[in-house]
């Protein structure tokens, strides 16, 4: 039985220039047929005992963009979820959304079908930067949809922000933080731009046509982010995530706590029974596998005990609470110090880690240099 369920909707009306997720343009795609295949995959997962009798703790609709679906397609998707996924344990039902796609009707459909958490991809409140990112919404769209979501009944609302963008200035970042925090939301996620292969930005960078802020300016933006969030009463519970008490993302914490989750849909990933797997990404390959009665899995890997301990460290250290000694002992039957004592001592001497005897966690300096810290725990 898995603790979480991720459902992938790979359709977008516009492909953002930085995105490397599994996605396709909505137009001329077999969207209804895909939803049928997704429903069949969920049905088989239940038959295989993937959800147990009481279902997962969390359900997360991601993409692509789930809100790219038409109203009737959303209703169809929820009907499949309702018939295949027990909800006896469910404590969080989330979806990603784009501001210019969330109509009052779609908000009502989400609410009526049990979704209670929205993760809205705002990215910036600067119109020029939004255009540079390939986004199709305006800053006003973002503010409007938050009002409409609240009118529908949604309280648990998060927005995504990005910094370190091409030609982004500190003044633009400050203005985005001002407008974001003025909404008074209980959760914010903020990520620095990472230029991934097979994206528009990657091609531009290779042609020296992507003027990015330097590392120092990006670090200053991150520092300002942490200061402003703390001043607004939002606790940094993970490197890139900030929340009021009781509003942390339960689903994402499953990932960082290295717990089990099922992945359904084209390109979805899962971790169950000690095996990490990923589904076929191309729609045709995914759908053909489902229609032929096969698992739509492209590859899988049985995680060794050593790999699982490594993952426990580099995932757990992303959270500000860090990795607990007692939880490590309970999970692996070994003392954390016996396995990683030398790395912990070295990183502590460099002021990158700290320990209070109950857990080991990143220092503020370590938060800035997280990837360098995580590397020390990889074989």
Residue 308 has pLDDT above 90, yes or no: yes
For residues 333 and 312, the answer to whether their CB atoms sit within 8 Å is no
- Would you give the DSSP letter of residue 134? T
Average pLDDT, the chain: 96
Confidence of residue 231 (pLDDT cuts 50, 70, 90): very high
Q: What CATH homologous superfamily does 4-256 map to? A: Aldolase class I (3.20.20.70)
pLDDT at position 19: 86
Confidence of residue 348 (pLDDT cuts 50, 70, 90): very high
For the chain, the structural domain boundaries read: 4-256, 325-375
3-state DSSP helix/strand/coil % of the chain, to nearest 5 = 40, 20, 35
| Region 185-205 average pLDDT | 94
Residue 379 has pLDDT above 90, yes or no: no
- Of 317, 320, 316, 315, the C-alpha closest to 237 is 320
Q: Which residue is listed with tokens 């209703």? A: 75
Residue 15 has pLDDT above 90, yes or no: no
Task: Tell me the H-state helices in the chain.
Answer: 31-47, 71-84, 104-112, 127-133, 139-152, 170-181, 200-206, 215-231, 250-256, 283-291, 305-316, 325-332, 336-349, 364-368, 370-375
> How many CA atoms lie within 13 Å of 35's alpha carbon, on the beta-carbon side?
20
Q: 10 Å Cβ neighbour count for 137? A: 21
Residue 361 has pLDDT above 90, yes or no: yes
| Region 262-288 average pLDDT | 97
- Would you give the DSSP letter of residue 61? E
Sign (positive or negative) of CA dihedral 238, 95, 246, 51: negative
Distance CA(36)–CA(30), nearest Å, equals 10
Residue 123 has pLDDT above 90, yes or no: yes
Distance CA(92)–CA(95), nearest Å, equals 10
Query: Which two tokens mark 3?
Result: 């603790």
* Interior/surface letters 168-177, b for 16+ CB within 10 angstroms, e for the rest: beeebbeebb
Q: Which long-range contacts (CB under 8 A, 24 or more apart) does 296-301 make?
A: 296/41, 296/266, 300/275, 300/276, 301/275, 301/276, 301/277
For residues 20 and 199, the answer to whether their CB atoms sit within 8 Å is yes
Tell me the CA distances in angstroms from 288 to 128, 227, 265, one per residue in order: 42, 50, 12
pLDDT at position 17: 86
Confidence of residue 130 (pLDDT cuts 50, 70, 90): very high
Query: Which two tokens mark 116?
Result: 């209670």
pLDDT at position 25: 78
Instruction: Indicate whether this model's pTM tops 0.85.
Output: yes
Residue 23 has pLDDT above 90, yes or no: no
Query: Which two tokens mark 62?
Result: 């991601």
For residues 325 and 359, the answer to whether their CB atoms sit within 8 Å is yes
* Radius of gyration of the chain measured on its C-alpha atoms: 21
- Of 273, 274, 269, the C-alpha closest to 299 is 269
Q: Which residues contact 125 (CB under 8 A, 6 or more apart)?
A: 139, 142, 175, 176, 179, 180
**Counting Cβ atoms within 10 Å, is residue 325 exposed (0-12), middle (13-18) or buried (19+)?**
middle
Q: Which residue is listed with tokens 């890139």? A: 240
The per-residue pLDDT for range 77-117, each reduced to its tens digit, is 999 999 999 999 999 999 999 999 999 999 999 999 999 99
Residue 14 has pLDDT above 90, yes or no: no
* DSSP code string of 319-333: BTT-EEHHHHHHHHS
Portion of the chain with pLDDT greater than 70, in percent: 100
């Amino acid at each position: 039985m898995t603790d979480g369920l991720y459902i992938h909707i790979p359709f977008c009306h516009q492909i953002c220039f930085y995105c490397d997720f599994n996605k396709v343009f909505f137009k001329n795609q077999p969207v209804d047929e895909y939803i049928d295949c997704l429903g069949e995959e969920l049905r088989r997962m239940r038959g295989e005992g993937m959800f147990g009798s009481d279902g997962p703790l969390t359900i997360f609709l991601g993409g692509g963009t789930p809100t790219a679906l038409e109203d009737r397609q959303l209703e169809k998707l929820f009907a499949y979820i309702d018939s295949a996924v027990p909800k006896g344990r469910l404590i969080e039902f989330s979806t990603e959304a784009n501001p210019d796609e969330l109509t009052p009707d779609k908000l009502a459909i989400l609410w009526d079908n049990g979704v209670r958490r929205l993760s809205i991809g705002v990215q910036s409140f600067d119109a020029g930067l939004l255009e540079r990112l390939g986004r199709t919404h305006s800053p006003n769209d973002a503010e409007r949809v938050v009002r409409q979501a609240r009118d529908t009944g949604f309280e648990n609302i998060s927005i995504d922000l990005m910094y370190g963008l091409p030609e982004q200035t500190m003044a633009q970042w400050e203005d985005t933080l001002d407008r974001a925090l003025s909404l008074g939301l209980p959760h914010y996620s903020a990520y620095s731009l990472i230029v991934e292969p097979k994206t528009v930005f990657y091609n531009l960078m290779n042609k020296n046509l992507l003027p990015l802020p330097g590392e120092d300016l990006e670090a200053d933006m991150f520092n300002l982010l942490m200061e402003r969030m703390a001043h607004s009463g939002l606790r940094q519970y993970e490197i890139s995530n900030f929340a009021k008490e009781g509003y942390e993302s339960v689903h994402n914490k499953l990932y960082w706590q290295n717990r089990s989750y099922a992945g359904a849909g084209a390109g979805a990933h899962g971790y169950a029974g000690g095996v990490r797997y990923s589904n076929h990404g191309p729609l045709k390959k995914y759908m053909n596998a489902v229609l032929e009665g096969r698992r739509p899995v492209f590859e899988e890997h049985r995680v060794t005990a050593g790999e699982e301990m490594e993952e426990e460290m580099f995932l757990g250290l992303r959270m500000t609470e860090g990795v607990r000694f007692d939880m490590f002992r309970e999970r692996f039957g070994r003392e954390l110090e016996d396995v990683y004592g030398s790395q912990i001592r070295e990183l502590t001497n460099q002021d990158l880690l700290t320990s209070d005897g109950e857990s080991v966690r990143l220092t503020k300096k370590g938060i800035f240099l997280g990837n360098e810290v995580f590397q020390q725990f990889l074989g």
